[in-house]
Amino acid sequence: MRKTTRYPVKGANSLWHIYQTVSFFKVAKNFIFIQIGRYTPSLRLKRWLYRTFLGMTIDRQTSLALMVMPDLMFPEKITIGRNSIIGYNTTILAHEYLIDEYRLGDVIIGDEVMIGANCTILPGVTIGDGAIVSAATLVHEDVPAGAFVGGNPMKLIYTREEMENRK
């Protein structure tokens, strides 16, 4: 189970309550800086923008490819470790709005993690150090350190030990 905090709502679905959960001006500011970051080819500039203006924790030598989409409303809940690669057009979510509730959860991506293109990472997920996430994977639960996972829904393909034995 993902590590999220649930917030029940009454009446209309939770998305109708959006600006009671996050400021419109914060969303507008985040939108501007995320759009600049998504299209900039400069890895250093992108990292600086996301750390400075969005409050994301991104360690040194980490690369976010073109079109990576960090959470628009709660990017400060995203932590990415050292020397990791986030592939093209990957979405990293820290929130989810449902009918009767919304949920928030920290996303923690470890050191030297490789995430392929077109992945979606759901809120409350931890991806361990040295893990590999195959392209187009829906990461809906924690990924053990050193594991190789892929698919939709995500499945464990190899553990760290199995990967080491294959070499």
Average pLDDT over residues 118-126: 98
Show me where the domains of the chain are located.
5-166
What is the CATH class of 5-166?
Answer: mainly beta
Both tokens of residue 139? 């990461």
pLDDT digits (tens, 9 = 90+) for 15-62: 999 999 999 999 999 999 999 999 999 999 999 999 999 999 999 999
The fraction of the chain above a pLDDT of 90, given in percent, is 92
Whether residue 139 contacts residue 121, with contact meaning beta carbons closer than 8 Å, is answered with: yes
Tens-digit pLDDT profile for residues 84-115: 999 999 999 999 999 999 999 999 999 999 99
The reported pTM is 0.95
Instruction: Please say if the pLDDT value at position 167 is more than 70.
Output: no
